[in-house]
Amino acid sequence: MNYEQYIELQNRVEWLYDFHPDFFDQLEQKDREALQEGLLYDTADADYPESIEVFYKNSIATNEKLQADMFKAAQKLYALSGSGNLTLDNI
Q: Measured between alpha carbons, how far is residue 2 from residues 6, 49, 55, 56 in Å?
A: 6, 19, 13, 9
* pLDDT, mean over the chain: 92
Note the pLDDT of residue 84: 83
Whole-angstrom Cα distance, residue 8 to residue 44?
A: 20
Threshold 0.85, pTM exceeds? yes
Note the pLDDT of residue 91: 79
Note the pLDDT of residue 22: 92
Burial of 28 (0-12, 13-18, 19+ CB in 10 A): exposed
Name the least confident of 5-9, 14-18, 58-62: 14-18
Note the pLDDT of residue 25: 93
Note the pLDDT of residue 60: 97
Residue 89 confidence (pLDDT) above 80: no
